[in-house]
Chain A
Amino acid sequence: MILRRDSYRTVVVGGGIVGLFTAYHLARAGGGPILVVDSGFLSSGASGRNGGGVRQQWETPSTVRLAREAVHAYRRFGLEFGYNIWFRQGGYLFLAETPAELDRLRRVHDVVRAQGLPSRVLDAEGVAGLVDGIAPGAVVGGSYLRTDGTLYPFPAVWGVYEAVRSLGVEVALGVELLSVRQHEQRVAGVATSAGAVETPVVVNAAGGWSAEVSGRAGLPVSNVASRHEILATEPAKPFLDPMVVRASDGLYFSQSMRGEIVGGMTVPHAPGTARGVPSSPRFLTSMARALTQLVPRLGSLRVLRSWTGYYDDTPDGLPVIGPDPRLAGFVHANGFGGHGFMLAPSATRRVAASVLGESVDLDPAEFSPARFLTTPARAPVERLQLG
């Protein structure tokens, strides 16, 4: 791989949905020439490994607003990018197993409602009406937003990839960022496995590898990569419309357009971001147990395959968006905690605006990387870290 130029206006690290969308907004605003580097192949990271959920039910109003904007973007995606992502608005259903959990969902519902979205709180019967065959007594209720949904992640990546390339963005796959060259507290260039180039701006959109990338720029950060597993079953005729989510164990599952049940749950993993890490029997068996206990009629369905990917978690559960105060020209677009796909179209608009020096309508106290420099161990703010 040989890079086409020796100088760029922006280098984006990470060719996943966040990096590509960032490049897209930048290129549309005339911010080129732009280089995107990714150490893997297209869709090799979390953008090709997620369950495709897109929801607007969040604890924090600012995240609800970002998510609502993302839903609008994904509804238009086919016309704008030429690929059909099959964004199906079958709703998101959060389950509550105890009255206390239902109270918590009610508070989320109030936040979502206040942003003008038609969220509903359901009793057990209402939940059973949405999940045909749910075990009796499994839940006391839930919250539901019918305009949430699921999409196919792959065509979304293809669409934005083709769009940025036609806008003149150079996407270098299989190219790793090695270090960031600095001059007088400013980004001056980067060294990559394909050679060194000059650039005044580096955007870190490396997902699970973002802490590593910041580290290579000499900037320690609070992001932690966490491994998550997911499985897909053989297809069955459609019987389930919403994405179903349970906070207590991080269980989530939906039925794809192809009829497969696709879902995951949280099991403890040792730290690390090695590629090609295999699935674990603990996940497969725990996930199977959770699914069959909740919806017993799934028992005879067969698991087709399982795989792993990385979340890029932050201490407070909110993404990191904006310039790093320690190094001018180093901009963060990471820490999405497994929700990069959900928020990418809207969050990356702010990233691009930040790179271009335009005003950004995000509260810096919530999203700026500076928040971890003053209080590294911030308490969780956005706790709906699932599905």
Chain B
Amino acid sequence: MAEMPERRFRYAGRLRKARPGATLLESLPGAGLPNVVRSVRYHRPRAAFCGLGHCTGCLVRANGVPNVRACQFVVCDGDRVEPANGWPSPRFDLLGILDVLLPNGIDTLRGFRRPAWAAGAYQRVVRRLSGFSSLPRTAPRTAAIPPRSIDADAVVVGAGPGGRAAAERLVARGVRPLVLDRSLAAFAIDGADAIGGATAVFLPPPRTSPTASFTMLATTDDGGALTVRAPTVVLAPGSYDASLLFEGNDRPGVMTADLAIRLSRGPRGYPLRRAIVVGGGSRAAAVVDRIGSSVGAVVAPGEIGPEVARRASDLEIPLYPRTLLLRANGRRHVRSVGLRTRGGGPRFSLDCDSIVLAHRRLPNAQLFFQAGARTRWQPEPGAYFPEVTTDGTTTVPGLSAAGSAGGPAGGPAPDPSAAPELAGYYRELVREPRRGKWIACACEDVLLSELEQAVKRGFTGMEVVKRYTGLGTGLCQGRYCAPDALLLLSILEGRPAPAVGFITQRPPVVPTRLDALASLHGEFLAEVVE
């Protein structure tokens, strides 16, 4: 590796080097958790949280383009990268004083109204603080990539275990599927076509014609776009690790298991020298397998299952089942975690440099919602899954599910001993005294107190609370806040979670460049929308 030529790029004007094929996340100072951006409202220090390109923890401006996710951006020679949203820099941001001066947050709904003559000045200041970075002066270079239009017998989204198995089943039936996957890694499947670095962004319901066929929109990492038409679609988009609400859950060093596993492939050291792993099921066990010797403790909202217990016993890792996470201490990065045994036990704290959330995996169900498939609430893990028959068929003819996003029928059976019982957990947690900000939505810096305020004033239900507080309207589109907000609202409103409703999935699945979408416009010109 050392002999391969290094990529040279500039970050904040300074020349830096990167390993070929490495992303910005791994190539910036900070060992996988660089401070490249501050939060949008209170300028709180942030770092990568999800490692999947969804959260707002690693946004930079790259070659003039705003909101580039450092965790997804592979460095090339000559790239110019700037940090986002910090003055003078995200590391030493004078606007960070906002967070200190406003311990209870600001009220953009009811505040800034008086005196009336100052409204213009308030608007100018608040507007200047909006956004993470500026647009480029000119059109981006990649705008000219020609679109592709592909007809396939079947399309499989996702080349994980579930998608691969589905593709192989199709091949065995004599069908040649097209497999799309976000990852660039080779995933050759005999008898199938494959496009890597491709993200399915929009799957409208099939047209109600005799030859009902799906038209899927996808984008590619090179900035291009494609449409795929197929009568059969298998969705195997997999799952992701959920967030958890506690004070300081947005601090650098708090991360999902998705990111921790990714960082564990890099050099050992901060931020995984002394990690608190959260969760008691198979995902937590997988994290312990990866970073075993640097796990300081395993803390679980519910029980700790045998998989984790066995590994912990081998490595002499202390276990804290049925424990409330109250607070991540440390401003610039996590230094310790404040805990309390459930049921009114004593408070205590553990030193750590990271908190790895591996307590709950949720399905990437967006494409099912878009396509109009009926979904069903599963109390465990607390999410909507597509309704499927035993062979994975959804309620939309031609559309089926594979892998973990297909629900318990499609993936491995859930581990009942490791069920986090989050509803009961949160019922206890919301009664705990609070000192600082409890961030319920990190993209938009929405506080738990704002949710409580909304409900208190009579604005209830997920859709209304979303509009009232802005929760779920940020860059991750509710992936990390909505599942927990749903449980919290269920408690605050005193009705079951399904009655609280959920945020409607609005296309696209992931934020999609205007130029990529524009390149496809000719494909749909003849269409009268039904």
Interface residues, chain A, with chain B CB atoms under 8 Å away? 41-44, 48, 76, 78-79, 82-84, 86-88, 133, 154-155, 158, 162, 165, 227, 233-239, 257-259, 267-270, 276, 278-289, 291-293, 296-307
Contact = CB atoms under 8 A, between A and B. Distances in A.
Contacts of A79: 113-114, 116
B67 to A, nearest CB: 5
Interface of B: 40, 64-67, 108-114, 116, 119, 123, 126-128, 130-140, 143, 202, 204-205, 215, 217, 370, 372, 457-459, 461, 463-464, 467-468, 475, 477, 504, 506-508, 511-518, 520-521, 523-525, 527-530
B464 A41 contact: yes
Contacts of A284: 202, 217, 507-508, 517
B529 A158 contact: no
A305 B473 CA distance: 9
What is the predominant secondary structure among interface residues of chain B facing chain A? loop
A301 B131 contact: no
Given A41-B463, A84-B111, A234-B67, A296 B518 contact: no
B123 to A, nearest CB: 5
Contact of B517 (A165, A237, A280, A303): A303
B138 A296 contact: yes
Residue of A42, A285, A306 with most chain B CB atoms under a 10 A cut-off: A285
Contact of A306 (B114, B123, B507): B507
A69 B518 CA distance: 39
Given A84-B112, A162-B457, A284-B202, 11 more contacts: A43-B464, A79-B113, A84-B110, A87-B119, A88-B123, A235-B130, A238-B131, A281-B527, A284-B517, A300-B135, A300-B515
A87 B116 CA distance: 12
A339 B133 CA distance: 33
A305 B511 CA distance: 7
A269 B529 contact: yes
A234 B135 contact: no
Contact of A268 (B128, B506, B514, B528): B528
B468 A299 contact: no
Q: Which of B128, B132, B134, B518 has the most CB of A within 10 A?
A: B518
6 contacts: A84-B113, A236-B135, A270-B530, A284-B202, A302-B511, A303-B517
A4 B114 CA distance: 36
B66 A300 contact: yes
A303 B511 contact: yes
A281 B112 CA distance: 39
Nearest to B67: A234
Minimum-distance CB pairs A-B, first 4: A259-B131, A296-B139, A302-B511, A288-B517
B139 to A, nearest CB: 4
Contact of A292 (B110, B111, B514, B525): B514
Contacts of B123: 86, 88, 257
